[in-house]
Amino acid sequence: AHQWRGVIREYADRLPMLDGAPVITLHEGGTPLIPAEKLSERVGAEVFLKFEGLNPTGSFKDRGMTAAISMAAKAGAKAVVCASTGNTSASAAAYATKAGMTCAVLVPDGKIAMGKLSQAIAHGATLLQVDGNFDDCLTVARKLAEAYPVELVNSVNPARIEGQKTAAFEVADALGDAPDIHCLPVGNAGNITAYWKGYREAVEPSRSGAPALATRTPRMWGFQAEGAAPIVLGHPVDDPDTVATAIRIGNPASWKQAEAARDESGGVIDKVSDEQILEAHRLISSSEGVFVEPGSAASVAGLLQQHERGEVPAGARIVCTVTGHGLKDPAWALKLADGSEVVPTQIPVDAMTAAVELGLEG
Ligand code: F0G
């Protein structure tokens, strides 16, 4: 019998930083790369969705958190802290619990999805709602970690990037090479940094001499929400705003690294509107059968925008990471394109009425 052992054990040969650390894992990673036929047809390319919502806490953060918490355990830490728009806090809370550590999370007041809040609380984290945005939360978290005996597990912690780079290894493994283009939502910019590191390392043999996973690197296409697009604008945004609360960030910690990923890969970092994000969100669930949270849909919204601008090469192999599960923030699915609420049709206990309503009869 064999089951996926989590990213640290599966990719130990490419994660030297984790040598000697106790492995704290919920068996994250090993997520499917799903061919997206409708999307492929629409943009005239071969599109895949890397469905990161299928990680243990429902987002890609688990890849980085297994590494960050394992390193914290190695250092003898008893407590961890993070700032979060929701998913990092859910993941930190779960992995801290697994390691027997306490976890404190700082979240922006009123701007985090219910599913994520529930997870942090269910896993016993101490949750503080900060009267400010994510960037303010991160400032407070950094200060706490400097002054007190708590480990910071945001993506400024290099172990987070190490863990998250394994997603690029999985894509290269699944396709037999790197794709031509890789699309991602960009918030604090840790993930685009991690993927680019992963793809660069994937073209090298592993340290024990296992063959390279890829022969080339992809172009990195990152997408911010229009109301929270500091990298696109070239300056921090004081009051970031978007329906995609996951990426509601005005001053990304890995700003420089994201620009490097863009420039070194010959890629782009652009912005998409909330309307485009919600349209892509609906498209992914209604035509591909994959339910993601709004922030995740920024990758697909960006791909569609690039297609409309004639920037998608015919037949290119494209991977869009969809970063978090739709159940994290399900309310958006119950809103129609015009903003009105979906109201289920009520019927009595009667098969004939059901048949008529379903268009099977009369
Ligand atoms: N997608 C989702 C679902 C996220 O939760 C995040 C970030 C991103 C994309 C962007 O990734 O920050 O590495 O550029 N969420 C962080 C959090 C900020 O606190 O959960 P990034």
Q: Which residue's CA lies nearest to atom 15 of ligand 1?
A: 246
Q: Which of 7, 239, 285, 291 is nearest to 133 (CA)?
A: 239
Is residue 88 a contact partner of residue 99, using CB atoms and an 8 Å limit? no
Q: What is the secondary structure of 219-272 as a DSSP string?
A: EEEEEEETTB-HHHHTS--SS---S-GGG--SS-TTHHHHHHHHHHHT-EEEEE
- pLDDT given for residue 13 in this prediction: 98
Rounded Cα–Cα distance for residues 242 and 295 (Å): 9
**Distance separating alpha carbons of residues 196 and 25, to the nearest angstrom:** 23
Largest CA distance in the chain: 72
What pLDDT, on the 0 to 100 scale, is given for residue 332?
Answer: 87
pLDDT tens for the chain, 362 residues: list them.
789 999 999 999 999 999 999 999 999 999 999 999 999 999 999 999 999 999 999 999 999 999 999 999 999 999 999 999 999 999 999 999 999 999 999 999 988 999 999 999 999 999 999 999 999 999 999 999 999 999 999 999 999 999 999 999 999 999 999 999 999 999 999 999 999 999 999 999 999 999 999 999 999 999 999 999 999 999 999 999 999 999 999 999 999 999 999 999 999 999 999 999 999 999 999 999 999 999 999 999 999 999 999 999 999 999 999 999 999 999 888 888 788 999 999 999 999 999 999 999 97
pLDDT at 30: 98
Asked if 107 and 85 touch (Cβ cutoff 8 Å), the reply is yes
Cα 230 to ligand 1 centroid, rounded to whole Å: 15
pLDDT confidence of residue 335: 84
Q: How many Å apart are CA 39 and CA 317, to the nearest integer?
A: 12
pLDDT at 308: 98
Specify the residue with its C-alpha closest to ligand 1, atom 12. Answer: 188
**ipTM for this model:** 0.99
Give pLDDT, residue 319. 99
| Residue found under tokens 């690029």 | 168
Does the C-beta of 321 come closer than 6 Å to ligand 1? Answer: no
Q: How far apart are CA 19 and CA 208, in angstroms?
A: 14
| Residue 290: per-residue pLDDT | 98
CB distance 189 to ligand 1 below 6 Å: yes
- 232 ligand 1 Cβ < 6 A: no
Task: Give the pLDDT score at 249.
Answer: 97
Centre of ligand 1 from the C-alpha of residue 43, in Å = 26
Q: What is the pLDDT of residue 145?
A: 97
Q: How many whole angstroms from 271 Cα to the centroid of ligand 1?
A: 15
- Say yes or no: CB of residue 187 within 6 Å of ligand 1: yes
Distance of CA 218 to the CA centre of its chain: 18
Q: How far is the CA of 248 from the centre of ligand 1 (A)?
A: 9
Residues 6+ apart with CB under 8 A from 32: 50, 51, 54
CA distances from 300 to 9, 42, 50, 66, 152 (A): 31, 12, 11, 27, 31
What pLDDT, on the 0 to 100 scale, is given for residue 338? 84
pLDDT of residue 349: 98
Domains, the chain, in order of start with CATH, read 7-59+160-334 (3.40.50.1100), 61-158 (3.40.50.1100)
